Amino acid sequence: MSRFLGPLDSVGRVPPRQQTRVASFLISAHGALVRQLAMALPGQLKAGWQTELNAQLHRETEIVSLLLRATSWVPDFTLPYMMLAWEAAWLPKPVAGVADQKQAMTIDIAALGHAVHGAIRPAALLAVEAQAEDPFVTALRRIEFESSRMIQAQILFLKSDDLKPVRDAVNAAVESRHLEVRKLWTELLEGIGVRRSAESE
């Protein structure tokens, strides 16, 4: 197994089959965040942290749109089965030990977002020989850049004073989501001949 996507073609492009698998996984994960953020946002914002949720909703939507257009898609008949497992994993899981159900759901969304943006480093899969101007390569680098920005807001919320009374429940939710995302991401990469390196942790 290789640490990077490939073998690259003569002009440094990632094989379409690998593009299709990686993009499908990322679209599934970021698409789930789009749906959950849209449901969590009230029609009228009442707190400052809700403005960041609104910004994240639009950034997640941009990531999905970017991947749909930047990927060289090919038929992959195993995807429907894999996507069922992915979509089941992203389903909302209200955090145990939090009495306020709305708060419990918001914590879970932030925990899932923290895991998706923290455990997945798509640009780390690119070899130095990858064509810098290729749309898929550019998209992976852009997604990693945006993830590094979005995770900061999730950290601020998850470590906020408002959540101090349920800190143990928050930490358990974040750890659970990270384990889940890392497992699925590792399985996906192994299926296309890529080994996750320690640097991508």
pLDDT digits 0-9 by tens, 156-189: 889 988 899 999 999 999 999 999 999 999 999 9
**Residue 79's CB: how many other CB atoms inside 10 A?**
15
The pLDDT > 70 percentage for the chain reads 95
Cβ density class 91-109: b for 16+ within 10 Å, e for less: eebbbeebeeeeebbbbbb
pLDDT of residue 52: 78
**Residue 73's CB: how many other CB atoms inside 10 A?**
12
pLDDT digits 0-9 by tens, 104-113: 999 999 999 9
pLDDT digits 0-9 by tens, 115-142: 999 999 999 999 999 999 999 999 999 9
Identify whether the C-beta of residue 136 lies closer than 8 Å to the C-beta of residue 123. Answer: no
Q: Which two tokens stand for residue 102?
A: 């709305």
- Can you tell me whether residue 194 is helix, strand or coil? strand
Please state the rounded mean pLDDT for residues 28-57.
84
pLDDT digits 0-9 by tens, 61-84: 999 999 999 999 999 999 999 999
Helix H or strand E encompassing 199: none
- The answer as to CATH 1.20.1260 being correct for domain 16-192 is yes
pTM summary value: 0.94
Cα 51 to its chain centre, rounded Å, is: 20
- Sign of the C-alpha dihedral, residues 19, 21, 26, 31? positive
Q: What are the extents of the domains in the chain?
A: 16-192
CA separation for the pair 187, 190 (Å, rounded): 5
Q: Which two tokens stand for residue 128?
A: 């130095």
